[in-house]
Chains A and B, each alone.
Chain A
Amino acid sequence: MNTIIQVNRLTKNYGASRGITDVSFEIHEGEVFGFLGPNGAGKTTTMRVLMGLLRPTAGKATIGGLDCWSRAPEVKRLIGYLPGEFSFDPGLKGAQILTYLGNLRGGVDAKYVRSLIERLGLDPSKRFREYSRGNKQKVGLVQAFMHKPRLLILDEPTTGLDPLNQQEFYNMIAEVHAEGRTVFLSSHILPEVEHTCSRVGIIREGRLIQVSEVTALKDIRQHEVEMSFATPASPAWFKNVPGILTASPGHDGLDIHLTVQGDLREVIKLAAQHDATNLIIHEPSLEEIFLRFYEPEQTPAMVK
């Protein structure tokens, strides 16, 4: 497989604490790669370095073999980019913005632009300042897709989209993937990445901590389970179940609180054996998972 993005020991400092440190990864032509991490982890910084908007402090990033900083204009011929946040001439209409950017790219297929607009249900006759956040996002998506780029770099692409449009966006990604083009998207929503990507990189506090197949994500998946019983209950029942990270009694002796990693089959079985009256399962936020899973020198017992 061809490597389209190559990032080698990339560091970007802004001074105090923001930025990324020593990030290395590769993305292959034709894959959909997800970049997962909590807010402020460095996802946007990495993408903006790839776009030649930020100058790396150290290390190197290349796209299609071209250096992202020194050969930025050529690199951008290959890319469609959706920024995490963007503003534009507030007085320009959606249609004007798309035509303008199309002109700057040397012309795009007008029919295809129109089909994208209709697909996402965008009204291009409004001015940029009149658009809602979701509609601004649609303008951003159309301009990223409209020239059928070899590589799409999308920073939190579903932000502000309603569920119907999110679904349409997933379809668009699937089509791009089917055509053998590459997608690099970032998200802080675990299910979204699971849904769309084949491989993921997990970034936290500016460091890439894991790159893996998306199927491996279930390893970091955790559940909070709260159980109520008709009779006094003991956390010791669950001691030997694999994947249990914590087990603590509730306040009235009838409840048990568990943190479980992996699947819940054994837990549900045991709960049934002990006549559980109620079972509540939460999926913790990505942030919480990161805090738990990747905190240095973390031991399960310390986690509450």
Chain B
Amino acid sequence: MFRTIWTKTLRDYRFAIFGWGIGIGLLLFASLVAYATQVDTPAARASLPQIAAQFRFFGDPVEVTTPTGYTTWRVMGLFAPILISIWAVLAGARLVRGEEERGSIDVLLSTPVSRLHLLLEKLGALLVAMLFIGLLIGLLAMAGYASAKLDVDVAGSLLTGLNVSLIGFFFAALALFLSQLLTSRSTAAGLAGALLAVALILDATGRTVDNTAWLQHLSPLYYYNASKPLIADYTSTHGANPGAMLLLLGLAVLLIAVSTPLFLRRDIGETALPSWQRYASGVQKDRTGQALKQAEKDVFIRAISLRALRAHAESIFWWLVGIGFYAIWATSIAKTTEGPLHKLYASVPLINKLFSGQDIATNAGFLALIVFLFLPILVVVFALVEALPWANDLENGRFELLLSTPKPRTRLILERFGAVLIAMLLAPLVIWLGILIAASATAFSVDASKVAAASFGLLPLELIIASLVYLLAGRLRPATVVGVMTAFLAASYFVELLHTLLNVPDWVVSLSIFHQYGSPITDGLNWGAFFAMIGIALVLLALGVVLFNRGDVERAA
């Protein structure tokens, strides 16, 4: 596996391939299998198109009275592409910028490997990883057909997987492009994540709100949804739209083609944008004095926590923009569907069953379905991204000088965690404000206390993730920490989404942080789980502190 950059990179992706491939695949599998039990009467069948039309947010309602059409609408329209793109954005931003931040690219490029070669090998590995994920999705789709006693549609299954791979590859290429312009990997990921939120919003708005269909064309997700290979007769080419698929691939290739010369020509560790600062400084009198005076005034180097906050400010900003934007938008479209929904609910009993018992006739239920469908995973990934620098800094020997000062290790780790904590507190705050503002602007009535419960109820989840990272980093390499955490997140999220369909044992479900979060927007906060999770997070953090205090400190590689 260490023979080429290509295989080494692919090896780094092994956890992610299985985590995301099986996770998304199971989602598809479960939906195919569940259709028969959920839609069990002719009356239910008859009402399904009406429901699906109302919930176009999830995807285009096409042939929803068949298991494959239902699955395409319910799972494949929005869920699958967003989930894969979250990973794609992280991987794309990390592709070369991650190696630069670690400083390992200098060594890689000191071998007789050209930059072009390096980039193409890494991209190749990423593409193969995406195709593997697509393949796993395809295989689980086939298993779903078989379990639901349908004719197994091999071509449809594989094309569905391929389509997911392509949208993922597009967002990875987008993040790669942004990482050429920004010197921080997490800022590039944050900005690409914000653009993913915009893509989702454009596509779903175009589908949901009248006279805005043109907006969809601006979103890559529209071209993803142009293919519905599970519905064989959706197009003449087995439900797929080769033109749209090629367009996605073409856009990805275009982004790569633009990124390549930027990467080949720029300085390693620098942005590809011209730097004004460097030329503007010119000849100055007393540079030493000025530099020292400026440093003296800099508030952000007065303490470890302030420095950590400043170092990740851009990344935190873009993540919060993405999260806030999504909360505002999803709440504002809620109003447009409010009226018809209430009518629908009164006449169709099936609707409750379809959305795992959530009372979507109420405004809170609707928010649960649209706003709090993605926000928990988004917020938790945000916590992961903000906590990971701890693992990286440990590995890179960044603490050698800091620990030569009389600061105790406990102080160092807690100050760094404190900075992450502030970022993590901001996310629920942004969500809470976003929903309240959007709701009052659109005159959509919500229960402010439940909105607060649902927003701040996310904090224990973030805490658990961040403290787990701090604990694992005490013994494991950052790449392994990422792998373990990704697998844990994917498992947690999918177990909670699928447990009613897959008959997962209760004790397994209870391990999912998303299950413990529950649905506070409808049910109010489960204080027991809230404090229990905070307690667990504190225990994990305490263990992390102990490990850090007892362990050896790495030196610079």
Q: Which residues of A contact B (CB under 8 A)?
A: 44, 48, 51-55, 72-74, 76-77, 79-81, 83-101, 103-106, 110, 113-114, 117-118, 122-125, 129, 140, 143-144
Residues on the B chain within 8 Å of A73, using CB: 406-408
**Given A81-B404, A125-B281, list of 10 further CB < 8 A pairs?**
A55-B551, A73-B408, A88-B398, A89-B307, A90-B269, A91-B183, A98-B295, A103-B302, A143-B404, A144-B404
Number of interface residues of B (CB under 8 A): 41
Of A74, A87, A93, A122, the residue contacting B398 (CB under 8 A) is A87
Q: Tell me if B553 and A91 are in contact (CB < 8 A).
A: no
Q: Tell me if B103 and A87 are in contact (CB < 8 A).
A: yes
Residues on the B chain within 8 Å of A79, using CB: 404
Query: Could you write out 17 A-B pairs with CB less than 8 Å apart?
Result: A53-B553, A55-B552, A76-B404, A83-B400, A84-B555, A89-B311, A89-B398, A90-B101, A95-B291, A100-B307, A104-B406, A105-B405, A106-B406, A124-B287, A125-B281, A125-B287, A140-B401
Residues on the A chain within 8 Å of B407, using CB: 73, 104
Of B183, B403, B550, the residue contacting A51 (CB under 8 A) is B403
Q: Looking at the assembled complex, report how far the CB atom of B136 sits from the nearest CB atom of chain A, in whole angstroms.
A: 37
Q: Looking at the assembled complex, report how far the CB atom of A117 sits from the nearest CB atom of chain B, in whole angstroms.
A: 6
B290 CB–A CB distance under 8 Å? yes
Residues on the A chain within 8 Å of B289, using CB: 114
Q: Which residues of B contact A (CB under 8 A)?
A: 101, 103, 183, 269, 281, 287-292, 294-296, 298, 301-304, 307, 311, 396-398, 400-409, 550-553, 555-557
Q: Looking at the assembled complex, report how far the CB atom of A143 sits from the nearest CB atom of chain B, in whole angstroms.
A: 7
Residues on the A chain within 8 Å of B296, using CB: 99, 110
Q: Tell me if A99 and B292 are in contact (CB < 8 A).
A: yes
Residues on the A chain within 8 Å of B294, using CB: 95
Q: Looking at the assembled complex, report how far the CB atom of B290 sits from the nearest CB atom of chain A, in whole angstroms.
A: 7
Q: Looking at the assembled complex, report how far the CB atom of A11 sits from the nearest CB atom of chain B, in whole angstroms.
A: 14
Q: Looking at the assembled complex, report how far the CB atom of B156 sits from the nearest CB atom of chain A, in whole angstroms.
A: 49
- List the 7 shortest-distance A-B pairs measured between CB atoms, nearest first: A95-B291, A81-B404, A99-B295, A100-B301, A125-B291, A95-B295, A104-B405
Which partner residue on chain A sits nearest B294 by CB separation?
A95
Residues on the A chain within 8 Å of B402, using CB: 101, 104
Alpha-carbon separation in the docked complex, A90 to B396 (Å): 12
Q: Looking at the assembled complex, report how far the CB atom of B105 sits from the nearest CB atom of chain A, in whole angstroms.
A: 12
Q: Tell me if B302 and A87 are in contact (CB < 8 A).
A: no
Residues on the A chain within 8 Å of B103, using CB: 87
Alpha-carbon separation in the docked complex, A118 to B286 (Å): 11
Q: Tell me if B552 and A53 are in contact (CB < 8 A).
A: yes
Q: Looking at the assembled complex, report how far the CB atom of A176 sits from the nearest CB atom of chain B, in whole angstroms.
A: 17
Alpha-carbon separation in the docked complex, A148 to B271 (Å): 39
Interface centre among B288, B401, B404, B553, by most A CB within 10 Å?
A: B404
Which partner residue on chain B sits nearest A44 by CB separation?
B555
Q: Tell me if B555 and A85 are in contact (CB < 8 A).
A: yes
Of B295, B398, B552, the residue contacting A96 (CB under 8 A) is B295
